[in-house]
Amino acid sequence: MATSASTFSSATRILQPLNNNNNNTLYGNQLGMSSCFLGTTKKLYMKTPFLSPNSKRRSKDVLVVSEVVKDKNCNADSSLSNLCHITWPLDNVLITKDEGLELYEDMVLGRAFEDMCAQMYYRGKMYGFVHLYNGQEAVSTGFIKLLKKEDFLVGVYRDHVHALSKGVPARQVMSELFGKSTGCCRGQGGSMHIFSKEHNVLGGFAFIGESIPVATGAAFSIKYRKEVLKEADCDHVTMAFFGDGTSNNGQFFECLNMAALWKLPIIFVVENNLWAIGMSHLRATSDPEIWKKGPAFGMPGVHVDGMDVLKVREVAKEAVARARRGDGPTLVECETYRFRGHSLADPDELRDPAEKNHYAARDPISALKKYMFENNLANEAELKAIDKKIDELVEDAVEFADESPHPVRSQLLENVFADPKGFGIGPDGRYRCEDPKFTEGTADV
């Protein structure tokens, strides 16, 4: 239905201006900005089919993440009508008690699990690269806890917490990190390749950008099932997570184009933690406002404070609802910050200590805890009980992983070929390479 303008709802609370006196961060000095938080954006107007976004750099004086643009021509029967409403009043509680406890528990699980991973890595229980999620929990929890089991989730190499939020048991994730047969990939995936068919987690991916085409394909399969195979109840969505560095890769632009062209049910979630390994986002990107790339392809582009789970959740609600209705994709840029180095092998010496301290003071778990206390949604005893529960859960996951067996040798070639017995395994069930005649003559070659 044609309309002169559609809006992406901002049921988020108003952001207060941050301390503008700290100019010690690298990116602040580079652009002559006085705000320590890059995410104090101006109004985000979401018009269809296209919008020419404000070309100005992020302003230090703006107080809100996004602002509702009321369309007087919105029809009450339009699928966009629920996007055309006034921002919630400041005194409105955004969550119920049960919702708050669920969000808190999921965020604490992510943090405790990653802290334990660091311990286990330095004790030699894990191998290879391990990328932790500390500090970014508001993004994973705010988005993924809105998904159904049937919805698809695709991440990158910082994927442990995504899987946990989607419901993959902590035992399975920890065992996978230990390389044990009880892991969600039977020990063959490791830290960067968490996968669960049961939970529709289509994997973490080691190379940035390669996950986005997979997510786009998953979204296409949903649309195909609904429109071609006539599965009326198939209202599933796909959620793709990736970082700021990925947004400069070719796959990102190609898939945004396809998703918008075919109105695929997908949400592109950019976890902009301001650093791509050791490269500052502002040094690597001509326009650091990633959300602008959405309107360029005819889809809403939204920017949100990724350190606030409630703001993330409200934006995620709208994006998921659009996808389920068949209104197409949304690009959401969540500005967040990782509290550790790029990986556990990174000494984290490139980021300014003042910058790290600034974001540490905005810890998303502490912020949610404070909000729940101020709105009488929980008391100290209830949250401590959750903390204790999670500590026991993570300890149990470690014990389970440590006691689990390593994969057997015969598992090595499984899931490599479509028909393993047609290549690597003989009719007798034994590996062909174990037959002395298999390598006959190769020594001469």
Residue 441 has pLDDT above 80, yes or no: no
Q: What pTM value is reported for the model?
A: 0.77
pLDDT at 143: 97
Distance of CA 425 to the CA centre of its chain: 39
If you count them, how many residues does the chain have?
445
CB 310 within 8 A of CB 104: no
Residue 76 has pLDDT above 90, yes or no: no
Report the candidate in 326, 272, 270, 267 with the shortest Cα–Cα distance to residue 300: 267
pLDDT band at 75 (very low <50, low <70, confident <90, very high): very low
pLDDT at 180: 93
The amino acid present at 210, given as its one-letter code, is E
- DSSP 3-state of 165: helix
Mean pLDDT of 36-53: 34
Distance, CA of 102 to CA of 219 (rounded, Å): 27
pLDDT at 37: 36
> Percent of the chain, pLDDT > 90?
58
Mean pLDDT of 48-70: 31
Residue 350 has pLDDT above 60, yes or no: yes
Which pair of tokens denotes residue 262?
């075919």
Q: Which residue has the higher pLDDT, 84 or 271?
A: 271
pLDDT at 95: 93
Note the pLDDT tens digit of each residue in 307-346. Answer: 999 999 999 999 999 999 999 999 999 999 999 988 888 8
pLDDT at 433: 66
Residue 154 is classified by DSSP as: E
Q: Which residue has the higher pLDDT, 158 or 445?
A: 158
Q: Is 250 exposed, middle or buried (0-12, 13-18, 19+ CB in 10 A)?
A: exposed
SS (H, E, C) 75-120: CCCCCCHHHCCCCCCCCCCCCCHHHHHHHHHHHHHHHHHHHHHHHH
Structural domains present in the chain: 2-403 (3.40.50.970), 409-440 (no CATH)
